[in-house]
């Protein structure tokens, strides 16, 4: 069984490894640089919320997500999130559990809209999940994402009202 909890120092190393794996894949996160434990601690702590997906039987970290404002001031009611699932645990609804938890946490924190700025067109599992959960597609930004191989791919922003 998977449980989503607030990340603590106990999960930092495993969360960092999962996050860095997605960064190194180069096909969904905008970051190009990996995190060391020090920078990861600061990064995850700076978020409005960092959630961790844990397998309850052995406390293995299988996913991490960050939730934070998408903008400031008059647009500060819109939040943004990013999700990372451990490679060998993908396809087991961990991402879905994290998105659902994120929606709940965003509401608790007073956000009104959850927006994803850059869902890469080839990220079919994410696109299918967001559609299933009721997110609305905003359009397509041609060549909005630079893949690791140097090619550009379209991004598809999404949002859901909370």
Distance CA 66, CA 143 (A): 25
pLDDT tens digits along 35-85: 999 999 999 999 999 999 999 999 999 999 999 999 999 999 999 999 999
- Domains of the chain in sequence order: 2-161 (3.40.630.30)
* pLDDT for the residue numbered 80: 98
Distance CA 40, CA 43 (A): 5
Distance CA 69, CA 153 (A): 25
* pLDDT for the residue numbered 13: 98
CA angle 2, 25, 45 (to 5 degrees): 55
Helix then strand then coil, in percent of the chain rounded to 5, is 35, 30, 35
pTM: 0.96
pLDDT tens digits along 1-25: 999 999 999 999 999 999 999 999 9
């Amino acid at each position: 069984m998977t449980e989503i909890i607030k990340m603590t120092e106990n999960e930092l190393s495993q969360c960092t490894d999962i996050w860095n794996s997605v960064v190194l894949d180069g096909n969904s996160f905008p970051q190009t640089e990996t995190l060391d434990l020090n920078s990861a601690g600061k990064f995850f702590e700076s978020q409005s919320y960092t959630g961790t997906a844990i397998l309850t039987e052995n406390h293995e970290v299988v996913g991490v997500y960050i939730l934070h404002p998408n903008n400031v001031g008059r647009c500060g009611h819109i939040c943004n999130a990013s999700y990372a699932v451990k490679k060998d645990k993908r396809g087991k609804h961990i991402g879905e559990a994290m998105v659902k938890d994120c929606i709940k946490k965003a509401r608790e924190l007073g956000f009104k809209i959850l927006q994803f700025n850059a869902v890469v067109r080839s990220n079919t599992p994410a696109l299918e999940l967001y559609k299933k959960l009721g997110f609305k597609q905003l359009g397509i930004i041609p060549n909005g994402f630079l893949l690791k191989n140097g090619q550009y791919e379209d991004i598809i922003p999404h949002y859901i009202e909370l």
